[in-house]
Amino acid sequence: MTNTNLTPGSTERGIDPKLLELLVCPVTKSTLDYDAVHQELVSRPARLAYPIRDGIPIMLPEEARRLDD
């Protein structure tokens, strides 16, 4: 799992590291990177960022933000 620009471990409103190990992108089935600043799980292959709301990852492609080039 790549962790560039990520905060390892749990943060105040972060995600449980064990949960992060289990989650994959629903589009590509690839691993996700946790972006603590934006509170998102990022799928680089799909170029999508899934929001985390109140500590809960929203893993719906229609809720994801498209990543810019």
Q: What percent of the chain has pLDDT over 70?
A: 78
Could you tell me the domains of the chain?
17-66 (2.20.25.10)
The predicted-structure confidence for 6-30, as pLDDT tens digits, reads as follows 444 444 456 888 988 999 999 999 9
pLDDT of residue 15: 80
The answer, as to whether pTM is greater than 0.85, is: no
Write the DSSP assignment of 1-69 as a string of letters. ---TT---S--TT---HHHHHH---TTT----EEETTTTEEEETTTTEEEEEETTEE---GGGPEEPP-
Greater confidence (42 vs 13) lies with 42
